[in-house]
């Protein structure tokens, strides 16, 4: 599916049909954005014909695996990134691995093409932010691409907010009960795997963000866009740092789980020790039952019940002291 958006700095921004002469009709105050979802062979051929794309570039757009390459075709450039797919339910329950989708950019001075196999929320959010006529048409294609890349990094930050919410709820469950449930360890490991998958997805993209800030690339993108790509490089580093912080959050949850597990074990050992001491005391006293109870101290039949009553009284007293001092 191909959707085409024409941004006119001196007129009306609108979604249009992609015509064969769309590039020829562009004026200085126009920017054309072609967003392609789940493309097929005929759509690739159509893009190649309208925008004059190189065969190597078209072949790159059809790949499913990510290469994180930044290719220069003189009049335009092509690169790909790995976008994160975030769901609303992730704030409550994270998947074992973050959803991902390859996103390709083909960028020229007055137009850009984005190609992706799955819906990406941040692309729609970029379009939805405009509530009136804008001056986006006065920007260049590389500048608009820089804005979309910033939204791309923002999607990773939103995924990290889900991790923070998940970790906070997980810590509350760990602290809520006197005895830690073993099933919580699986939830801790799920959070750790999710954050690690985010790191593995974003880390290799440094070749794109660093490459976009190089002097040779600024000659392709235009000097007016160079400052934006330099800022994107810094934003990329901050996003990586935030992911590392997310890993620390899950590590803290794991440490909290192990601490609470150790507390539970210590409490169990304390109770067992108390019980052992109590039973030992009862056993020591019970040895008196082997004694001969002779008059005038007590009758043989009464002596047994006197000892039983004494043991019951001793047990109740020891348990009361243990409760008072929180030994049990």
**CA distance to 140, 149, 180, per residue, from 13 (Å):** 15, 21, 57
At which of 261, 283, 309 does a domain end? 261
Task: Return the pLDDT at 235.
Answer: 92
Start-end of H helices in 77-140: 121-128
Please check whether residues 141 and 289 belong to one and the same domain. no
Task: Return the pLDDT at 219.
Answer: 61
For residue 289, what are the domain limits? 267-324
Please check whether residues 219 and 96 belong to one and the same domain. yes
Please check whether residues 125 and 194 belong to one and the same domain. yes
Task: Return the pLDDT at 103.
Answer: 92
Please check whether residues 304 and 209 belong to one and the same domain. no
Please check whether residues 198 and 309 belong to one and the same domain. no
At which of 239, 261, 283 does a domain end? 261
For the beta carbon of residue 152, count every other beta carbon within 10 angstroms.
24
Written as six digits, the tokens of 22 are 């769309």
Please check whether residues 41 and 70 belong to one and the same domain. yes
Dist. CA 256–CA 20, nearest whole Å: 61
Q: How many domains does the chain have?
A: 2
Please check whether residues 205 and 279 belong to one and the same domain. no
- Dmax over CA atoms of the chain, in Å, equals 125
What would the pLDDT profile of 41-57 be if each residue is shown by its tens digit? Answer: 888 888 888 888 888 88
C-beta separation of 200 from 206 below 8 A: no
- C-alpha torsion angle, residues 170, 176, 178, 183 (rounded to 10): -30
**Apex CA 261: angle with CA 258 and CA 267, to 5°?**
145
C-beta separation of 4 from 32 below 8 A: yes
Please check whether residues 80 and 137 belong to one and the same domain. yes
Please check whether residues 149 and 291 belong to one and the same domain. no
* SS3 per residue for 49-76: HHHCCCHHHHHHHCCCCCCCCEEECCCE
Please check whether residues 201 and 275 belong to one and the same domain. no
* pLDDT-flagged residues of the chain (< 70): 90-91, 131-133, 218-223, 266-268, 270, 278, 281-282, 284-304, 307, 322, 325-328
Please check whether residues 222 and 139 belong to one and the same domain. yes
Please check whether residues 206 and 125 belong to one and the same domain. yes
Dist. CA 7–CA 136, nearest whole Å: 6
C-beta separation of 293 from 299 below 8 A: yes
At which of 209, 233, 261 does a domain end? 261
C-beta separation of 72 from 220 below 8 A: yes
Radius of gyration of the chain (CA): 35
Q: First-to-last CA distance in the chain?
A: 68
CATH of the domain at 170: 3.30.460.20
Start-end of H helices in the chain: 41-51, 55-61, 121-128, 141-176, 183-202, 206-212, 215-221, 223-286, 300-324
Task: Return the pLDDT at 238.
Answer: 92
């Amino acid at each position: 599916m191909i959707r085409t958006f024409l941004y006119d700095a001196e007129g009306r921004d609108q979604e249009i049909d992609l015509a064969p002469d769309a590039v020829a009709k562009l004026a200085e105050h126009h920017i054309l954005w072609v967003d392609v979802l789940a493309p097929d062979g005929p759509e690739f051929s159509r893009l190649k014909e309208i925008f004059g794309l190189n065969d190597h570039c078209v072949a790159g757009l059809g790949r499913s695996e990510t290469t994180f390459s930044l290719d220069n075709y003189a009049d335009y450039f092509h690169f790909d990134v790995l976008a994160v797919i975030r769901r609303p339910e992730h704030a409550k329950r994270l998947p074992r691995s973050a959803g991902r989708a390859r996103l390709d950019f083909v960028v020229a001075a007055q137009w850009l093409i984005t190609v992706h196999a799955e819906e990406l929320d941040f692309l729609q959010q970029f379009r939805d932010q405009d509530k009136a006529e804008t001056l986006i048409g006065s920007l260049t294609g590389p500048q608009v691409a820089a804005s979309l890349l910033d939204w791309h990094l923002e999607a990773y930050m939103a995924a990290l907010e889900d991790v923070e919410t998940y970790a906070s709820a997980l810590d509350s469950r760990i602290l809520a009960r006197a005895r830690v449930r073993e099933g919580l360890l699986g939830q801790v490991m799920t959070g750790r795997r999710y954050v690690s998958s985010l790191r593995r997805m974003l880390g290799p993209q440094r070749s794109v963000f660093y490459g976009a800030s190089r002097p040779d690339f600024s000659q392709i993108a235009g000097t007016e866009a160079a400052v934006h790509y330099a800022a994107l490089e810094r934003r990329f580093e901050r996003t990586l740092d935030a992911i590392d912080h997310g890993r620390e959050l899950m590590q803290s949850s794991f440490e909290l789980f192990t601490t609470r597990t150790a507390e539970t074990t210590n409490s169990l050992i304390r109770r067992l020790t108390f019980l052992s001491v109590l039973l030992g005391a009862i056993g020591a006293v019970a040895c008196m039952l082997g004694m001969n109870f002779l008059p005038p101290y007590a009758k043989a039949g009464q002596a047994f019940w006197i000892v039983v009553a004494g043991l019951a009284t001793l047990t109740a007293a020891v348990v009361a002291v243990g409760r008072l001092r929180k030994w049990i």
